[in-house]
Amino acid sequence: MSPSHSKTIVHVPRRFVAEEWGGTETVILEISRQQQAAGNSPLIVTSMALAQHHRETIGGVPVKRYGYCYPFLGLSKDDKSAMDKKGGNLLSLSLFNALLREPDVRLFHAHALKRLGGEVRTAARLRRKPLVVSLHGGVFDVPQAELGAMLKPIENKIEWGKPFGALFGSRRVLEDADQIICVGQSELDKARGELSHERIAYLPNGVDCAKFADADGPAFRSRHGIPSNAFLVLNISRIDAQKNQLLLLEAFARFQTKTSDAFLVLIGPETQPAYAARLREFITTRQLDACVRILPGLRNDSPELVQAFHACDTFVLPSMHEPFGIVVLEAWSAGRAVIASHVGGLKALIRDGATGLFIDPNPSESPAALTGLLHRLHSEPGLRNAIAQAGLREARSQYDWKRIGAQLEELYQRAEEHAARRLGKTR
């Protein structure tokens, strides 16, 4: 299938900044690039959350940002910052107005729900355009503990934004969508059980295999004081309780006592500063400062990201919850063995013992189990290489962005067909 004709595809995430990068931002940028290559004109319309500029181009894709607020009384500066970083239910009337005025729109693709998703829904309805909604996790398949942490900044606060949610049909976004996309298999299964229609599809995230194929790993080690002969364990993810770096630190502390060449690097933006402080306290208390580095989140275009993968010996993702795990694809593309939690989308992504090794992130014995896997990969380089090569083959054959982009175009056309029937149009 090919696109009907060249028009603007409007992507609407909650926030989009190069300095606070994550899996959702990677997905939106990469599918936008594929759409540009196919002759479409993708545009990212978002809020000013964590941003400095109203207009910017990131990775060749234009970004427009608009003012916003969190409609709760009594929010502190720290509360607002926490919501900017993770899960804030924002309101932006200027963004909604921009969606109504954006010319030559082919379809709207919402990457958020709640009030912002409702704004996209209503703009699509008023303009008689198709609505596609991506679930990047945190909707149907999210642990209660994580949901509680996301809602903590608005505890005991008075919300004055509910009328806007009703006005924009925030609770109707998924029922009214012309196509829903789930990046994780577990989210898909639960969505199908919750929604009244079948316009739901699984579309995994992808990876630019060529981008991660080669980089100067030794330069990364030298820059950060990591010995060339160290067995380097890497984690790249938000510094956040959901990502469970504390489990990795506990396991690494045990691993390091019997492995003199062990080294650990954690890279990611600090979305929960209190959790980051807890990690640093653990490092100091356990006297791990000489062999552990915590590096701030790097821009999406930083060469250090790719270098870090090539510098490491194994990649660990011990998340409590993970909708998909795009960093696993990146580690595979760099030819690195992966250890990951048996949760969420990772359960369908990784084949245990073949393309990676699984841990259970919840039970009390998890640190010992993870320590055992680290010892195993350290002492069995043949196994480590076999797992790494199997992951590399999987990334190249199944998850290249060109393949994912073509599948997304088919889903867009399904959405357009459903919208045409709904609106009584003849295509």
* pLDDT tens for each residue of 21-74: 888 999 999 999 999 999 999 999 999 999 999 999 999 999 999 999 999 998
Q: In the predicted model, is pLDDT for residue 2 greater than 60?
A: no
Q: With beta carbons less than 8 A apart as the criterion, state whether 49 and 89 touch.
A: no
Q: What percent of the chain has pLDDT over 90?
A: 80
Q: What is d(CA 241, CA 231) in angstroms, rounded to the nearest whole number?
A: 25
Say whether both 55 and 150 belong to one domain.
yes
How far is residue 136's CA from residue 204's CA, in Å, rounded to a whole number?
10
Q: Which residues pair with 266 in a beta bridge?
A: 235, 294
Asked if residue 305 and residue 268 are part of one domain, the reply reads yes
When mean pLDDT is compared across 183-192, 263-272, 354-363, the lowest value belongs to 183-192
Query: Are residue 154 and residue 244 in the same domain, yes or no?
Result: no
Does 252 share its domain with 389? yes
Residue 411 resides in a domain: yes
Quote the number of domains for the chain: 2
Residue 354 lies in a domain: yes
pLDDT exceeds 60 at position 147: no
Q: Tell me, yes or no, whether 81 lies in a domain.
A: yes
Q: Which helix (H) or strand (E) element contains residue 341? A: strand 337-341
Q: Are 84 and 160 in the same domain?
A: yes
Strand partners, 44: 11, 63
Helical H runs in 239-380?
245-258, 273-285, 303-311, 326-333, 346-349, 366-379
Residue 201 CB partners (closer than 8 Å, separation 6+)? 179, 180, 181, 182, 188, 411, 414
Query: Could you tell me how many helices (H) and strands (E) the chain has, helices first?
Result: 17, 16
Contact 235, 317 (CB under 8 A): yes
Residue 211 lies in a domain: no
Number of Cβ atoms within 10 Å of the Cβ of 335: 17
Q: Do both 243 and 392 map to the same domain?
A: yes
Residues 61 and 102 in one domain: yes
Q: How sure is the predictor about 427, in pLDDT bands with cuts at 50, 70 and 90?
A: low
| pLDDT tens digits, one per residue of 103-140 | 999 999 999 999 999 999 999 999 999 999 999 876 77
Q: Are residues 238 and 376 in the same domain?
A: yes
Residues 39 and 176 in one domain: yes
Q: Is residue 3 part of a domain?
A: no
In a domain, 310, yes or no: yes
- 268 and 318 in a single domain? The answer is yes
Determine phi and psi for 45, rounding to 5 degrees: -115, 125
What is this structure's pTM? Answer: 0.87
Q: What is d(CA 158, CA 127) in angstroms, rounded to the nearest whole number?
A: 33
| Domain region containing 62 | 8-206+400-423
Whether 238 and 269 have beta carbons less than 8 Å apart is answered as yes
Q: Do 260 and 362 belong together in one domain? A: yes
φ, ψ of residue 330 to 5 degrees: the values are -65, -40
CATH, residue 15: 3.40.50.2000
Residue 107 and residue 256 in one domain: no
Sheet holding 200-202, edge to edge: 55-58, 61-66, 41-47, 8-12, 105-110, 131-135, 179-182, 200-202
The token duo for 194 is: 């919750």
1 assigned to some structural domain: no
- Domain assignment present for residue 212? The answer is no
